[in-house]
Every structure is written in C-alpha cells, then in structure tokens.
Structure 1
Amino acid sequence: MPIFVSHAAPDEPWAQWIALELRAAGHDVHLESAGSDFAQRIAVALSGTDPVLVLLSAVHRGTDDDWRHVAGTPAPPGRLITLCLDTAEPPGPLRALPCRSLHSLDEEDALDLLMSLVGGPRRNPNEWTTGRSGLDPA
C-alpha cells in the first residue's frame, strides 16, 4: 500500500509537493483530498503497512467526531503522522499525537523533516527545481 496523504482541498499545493518529494525518494504515494468520508479512508489506510500523513491546517473541515475516529483507529506507533501546515492548533482528538509543523520552514528544512518522518534519502538541494513547490529554497 502506498503512503497515504490526506489533505484539505485548499492545501493541494502542499500535498502535491509532498507527493513529488516522496516519489523522488522512491515511495509510492496516494493523495486524498478530504471529503465527507475522509476519516474512514484514513482508518482503512492505517490498516496497511505504510505511513499515513494527515496534513492539518486552519482550512481543514474535519469535525471532532471525524478526528476521534482517526485517533481511535488502531495503528502501530508512528504510522499516523500529522503535519501542521500553518499556525492552527491540531484538532483536540489529535493533540496527543506529535504534530510536526512545516509552517515557516524553508524547502530544505521541510524536506529534512518529511524524510525523517517517513524514511527515505534526502535529495541533493542542487536537484531541486525552484518555484515548483511554492516554498522558498534556502
């Protein structure tokens, strides 16, 4: 099963950048824009063996019931990875999980953090094509 990345529709540029970098590191990736059944889709993805990334931001419309469902889904420690994209606090039911922030990181630091969470080689910064992600390279 590929790495599952769940995100709010307005956060698509972040999700695309993350998918691009993970694929460059050799991972298979499945992007899912959060719809009405996103919590159930995350629960199904957690039954696999690969990490599940949930991109959190102020524009995510998940309810506390949705997040309780996600937080209550059995998964080995470290399988569910939450990444904050802005300064919004993680939803209450997810606050027990570590939420790493990509907010205000430059491209290199964001990539370091991403790869440390999911595993995989870092790319050489000289391989980056500036401007594709909307992040400012260092």
Structure 2
Amino acid sequence: MLISHPLADEPWAEWIANSLRAAGHEVVLDPADATFAQRLTEARHSGTGPILLLLSAEHRAVATDWELLVRSPALVGRLITLRLDACEAPRALRALPCRNLHGLDEEEALEVLLNLAGGVRREKVRTHGLPAVPFSRDGSFADSGQARNAR
C-alpha cells in the first residue's frame, strides 16, 4: 500500500505505516509535495495495490491535483481517502471510498486501517518499539526497579 500524506501529517503517516507493517503489509510512504499528483500518476506507481490519500486541513493540494488523480487510468479503483481531521474531502475526491480516523481511539483507528488493508497477514501481529519489561512466571508485571536502573 502506498500512503500519500501532507508533510505536516508525517507522524500520522508513520503511525499508520508502522501499524500496517506490524500486521504484515508492505507500505511505502510518499510525502505530498507540489508534484505529488503527477508523481502518483507516473509509471513507478503503476502497480495494482491501493493508494491511501491522507487528508487533513494541512494538505496543500489544489483542485487540479485532485482532478489529475481521479482522471488517471492507472489509479482507477486504487485511490482511498482517509480523513485525519474534520476537513471535508475535496470535491473531485468525493466519489472515492473515504474513511475517517477523526475522533476515533487507537483501537478503532487500527480496525479501520486493517479493514482498508484487507486484515492481518500474519498469525501473530508483532509490534516494534515496546519497552522490554520483566514479567513474572504468572504473567504479572515484576519490576523490582532493576529494569529502570539498568537504563
């Protein structure tokens, strides 16, 4: 899945990408600059996978950018919009499938993402960046201060 996002929404894009990767999906981030629409219509993005357009009030695309995307034969059926805030989808994109993360908690947002991506592709979802925390044999947290002091 390719994720096109405004530079201001990089933290959202990273969270989405990391969540989908943890579920076994391949993800490529494509920051939306002044040439993003032209770039998305070029051959290097001519695969068949979905393209997730992150929308927010921070997106600086203009109407001609959106129109170029929806008219591109290479992108037909591949574009999905995902709203990050209360912004309205641009007029040219309103016929596309659109989901909304605005106002959702983390679990609900993850469910939306996994539904968009076709679910979990691994038997066990592995996450990254969780702290190493000692647990006792019964599974309860067993911090005697050693883990904190070891850092």
**TM-score, normalized by the shorter chain, greater than 0.5:** yes
Contact kept in structure 1, 2:79 and 2:97, CA below 8 Å: no
Structure 1 residues 24 and 107, CA gap change in structure 2 (3 angstroms): same
Unaligned runs of 5+ in 2: 131-151
Equivalent residue number for residue 14 of structure 1: 12
C-alpha distance in 1, partners of 2:28/2:89? 22
2:64 alignment partner, SS class: helix
How far does the alpha carbon of each residue in 1:39-65 deviate from its partner, in whole angstroms, 9 at most, with x for none? 022223652121111000011000000
Q: Deviations over 1:76-115 (max 9, x none)?
A: 53x2111000000011110111211000111111111111
Q: Amino acid of the residue matched to residue 21 of structure 2? A: R
Q: How far apart are the structure 1 equivalents of 2:28 and 2:68?
A: 20
Cα distance in 1 for partners of 2:69, 2:25 equals: 23
Tell me the secondary structure at the aligned position of residue 49 of structure 1: coil
Q: Distance in 2 between matches of 1:59 and 1:68?
A: 19
What letter is aligned with 1:47? S
Question: What's the % identity of the aligned pairs?
Answer: 53
1:29 aligns with 2:27: yes
Correspondence list, 1:52-71, <5 A: 52-71=51-70
- Separation in 1, partners of 2:120, 2:58: 31
The secondary structure found in structure 2 opposite 1:11 is: helix
What is the total number of aligned residue pairs between the two structures?
A: 127
Q: Distance in 1 between matches of 2:69 and 2:45?
A: 9
> Residues 31 and 14 from structure 1, CA distance in 2 versus in 1: closer, same or farther, beyond 3 angstroms?
same
* Higher gyration radius (CA): 2
| CA-based RMSD | 2.4
* Partner Cα separation in structure 2 for residue 98 and residue 64 of structure 1: 18
Q: Give unpaired runs (5+ residues) of structure 1.
A: 131-138
Provide the rounded CA distance (Å) in 1 between the counterparts of 2:23 and 2:120.
Answer: 6
Given residue 35 of structure 1, which amino acid in structure 2 is its aligned partner?
D
TM-score normalized with structure 2 length: 0.75
Partner in structure 2 of residue 119 of structure 1: 118
Amino acid at match of 2:54: L
TM-score relative to the length of structure 1: 0.82
Equivalent pair of 1:4/1:30 in contact (CA under 8 Å): yes
